Amino acid sequence: MKEAELDLIYRSTRNREETATASQAILRGLAVEGGLYVPSYIPKLACSLAELSAMSYQQVAYEVMKLFLCDFTEEELKYCINHAYDQKFDTENIAELVRKDDAYFLELFHGSTVAFKDMALSILPYLMTTSAKKNQIQEEIVILTATSGDTGKAALAGFADVEGTKIIVFYPKHGVSPIQEKQMVTQRGDNTFVIGIEGNFDDAQTGVKKMFSDGELARTLAKNGYRFSSANSINIGRLVPQVVYYVYAYAQLLARKEIQENDLINVVVPTGNFGNILAAYYASLMGLPVAKLICASNENKVLFDFFKSGCYDRNREFILTSSPSMDILISSNLERLIYRIAGDDDEKNLQLMQELSKTGTYRIDEEMRSNLDIFYGNYADEKETAEAIKSVYEHVGYVMDTHTAVGKSVYEKYREETGDETPTVIASTASPFKFTRSVMNAIDPAYDAQSDFSLIDTLSEISHVAIPAAIEDIRTAPVLHDRVCKTEQMCDVVMEILGIQH
């Protein structure tokens, strides 16, 4: 409580004494020893919900982000917001809230790569270059990213040709959809590099994390005029912009008189790395009236098991599903929740994270568990996910992507279990055009005979939704990246790209 009177700063989840300003935390990505930066306290919304309901997306973004990014001036932050949330989005509202069936779908896929990661990755390059200026950074920023599909393309699109940056993206060669892969390997921009690895997403993420925490590597880089930074969802420059759309969604419900001021809502989030739902949790801690945060997993249901038992256990088979962006066994951002429910206890968190890296598992105590009441976890298997797509399409003509469908299916389970009729917002994390084959197969397996591109036309016809420009583009774009490497070679590849001898 005392701290709330002081300026908000950032602390490492593994060492409270390691602090940073917002701009420093954005530049560093990870804290030393693998800790994650967390705000020293969660600020309360400074304007009323009624005031927010009269604001544009950009205005809400400013009202929310200024509370977290305290060392940015008003001019700097507005510059970042206005350059990020512009005509790159195919709707003026930036995020669309549509009522379909029994829920409100918060469509977060109107940006340049038709997935929700655009919401944060369109602003991160501006936050980062602004942060570099504020901190008199001379070195060129090298963005190093591991992706399960969507982050990679959204980061590439955000950073392409941004002066003073290079971006290197690693993705699991056999773990992303054909359209996801095509989107990445056709990326233009002389500062962009895309590499497939022979391994899964966790291998890619572990390899990237290893490079980030290698002190000697950092010195070698610095000597050559480079420094690493992260565009992964562990960067607070990703997390903070994601808080915005939950506040905006509530404000929109209020503006349309779907709810009264201070009415509670539920939020459903199809979850992988736990970044998106953590942002919703932060929004609730800021004072947004949220009753339940419904964490939806696919068959990689580590989080469902965690919420049920208090035991996190990554020792299990990794399953490739039709919602690949959620095929994750180590949800990195969960560490920020663990730190929080431990009462901002860095030592307790460190101990649990060490157990996780040593044994692949940890258990939280009863006191920590008692702080998880706002969360409800469940999962949808492949069959249930497909059924949700088909059923919503048949009932209301709306086509969900596979990730959103996991959310919808879990929401149905929640309602059946609880009978809760609270108005509910489902975070819709990707356009169905990004996962066309799985989506069309769910509606009718006969579609499987069509080619990928003909399926896109058919989807447009049956859903009465125009093909997004981002999808149209890759039909004709040439492949510009074809490098593949083994997990152990990731560091060598980075050195080669940067032209560093070692």
Ligand X SMILES: *Cc1c(COP(=O)(O)O)cnc(C)c1O
Secondary structure (DSSP) of 468-494: PHHHHHHTTPPP---EEEEGGGHHHHH
Does the active-site annotation cover 66? no
Asked if 272 is part of the footprint of ligand X (rule: CB under 6 A), the reply reads yes
Q: Contact with ligand X (CB under 6 A): which of 27, 179, 430, 494?
A: 430
Could you say which of 117, 166, 408, 434 is catalytic?
117
Closer to ligand X by CB, 180 or 186: give it: 180
Secondary structure (DSSP) of 276-333: HHHHHHHHHHTT--EEEEEEEE-S--HHHHHHHHSEEE--S-----S-GGG--SS-TT
For residues 104-123, which are near ligand X according to CB under 6 A? 115-117
Closer to ligand X by CB, 34 or 270: give it: 270
| Short-list 121, 99, 119, 96, CA closest to 107 | 96
Report how far residue 420's alpha carbon sits from residue 415's, in angstroms, rounded to the nearest whole number: 6
Closer to ligand X by CB, 158 or 275: give it: 275
Q: Contact with ligand X (CB under 6 A): which of 125, 199, 270, 432?
A: 270
Q: Contact with ligand X (CB under 6 A): which of 29, 237, 275, 377?
A: 275
Assess contact for 498 and 224: CB atoms under 8 A: yes
Residue 291 vs residues 148, 280, 284, 285, 479: alpha-carbon distances, Å: 30, 11, 9, 11, 46
Q: Which stretch binds ligand X (CB under 6 A): 83-91, 130-138, 165-173, 269-277?
A: 269-277
Interface mask (CB under 6 A) for ligand X, residues 291-310, using x and -? --------------------
| Short-list 195, 194, 126, 193, CA closest to 164 | 126
Closer to ligand X by CB, 85 or 274: give it: 274
Asked if 271 is part of the footprint of ligand X (rule: CB under 6 A), the reply reads yes
Interface mask (CB under 6 A) for ligand X, residues 376-415, using x and -? ---------------------------x------------
Q: Contact with ligand X (CB under 6 A): which of 226, 274, 307, 393?
A: 274
Q: What angle do CA 362, 368, 369 make, to 5 degrees?
A: 85
Least distance to ligand X, CB of residue 205, Å: 11
Least distance to ligand X, CB of residue 149, Å: 7
Q: Contact with ligand X (CB under 6 A): which of 235, 273, 284, 424?
A: 273
Q: Contact with ligand X (CB under 6 A): which of 429, 436, 438, 460?
A: 429
Report how far residue 142's alpha carbon sits from residue 226's, in angstroms, rounded to the nearest whole number: 7
Q: Contact with ligand X (CB under 6 A): which of 96, 118, 150, 327?
A: 150
Closer to ligand X by CB, 228 or 435: give it: 435
Residue 49 vs residues 247, 249, 286: alpha-carbon distances, Å: 8, 11, 12
- Tokens at residue 296, please? 């939806």
Asked if 321 is part of the footprint of ligand X (rule: CB under 6 A), the reply reads no
3-state SS, residue 58:
helix
Assess contact for 23 and 135: CB atoms under 8 A: yes
Closer to ligand X by CB, 207 or 270: give it: 270
Q: Which stretch binds ligand X (CB under 6 A): 158-166, 186-194, 272-280, 369-377?
A: 272-280
Closer to ligand X by CB, 191 or 232: give it: 232
- Kindly state the helix (H) or strand (E) to which residue 101 belongs, with its residue range: none
Least distance to ligand X, CB of residue 446, Å: 26
Q: Checking phi first, is residue 495 left (phi over 0); if not, alpha (psi -120 to 50) or beta? A: alpha
Interface with ligand X: number of residues (CB under 6 A) = 17
Least distance to ligand X, CB of residue 25, Å: 18
- Tokens at residue 445, please? 């397996």
For residues 351-370, which are near ligand X according to CB under 6 A? none
SS (H, E, C) 179-197: HHHHHHHCCCCCCEEEEEE
Assess contact for 409 and 380: CB atoms under 8 A: yes
Closer to ligand X by CB, 12 or 271: give it: 271
**Catalytic residue ranges:** 117
Positions touching ligand X (CB under 6 A) are 115-117, 150, 233, 270-276, 325-326, 403, 429-430
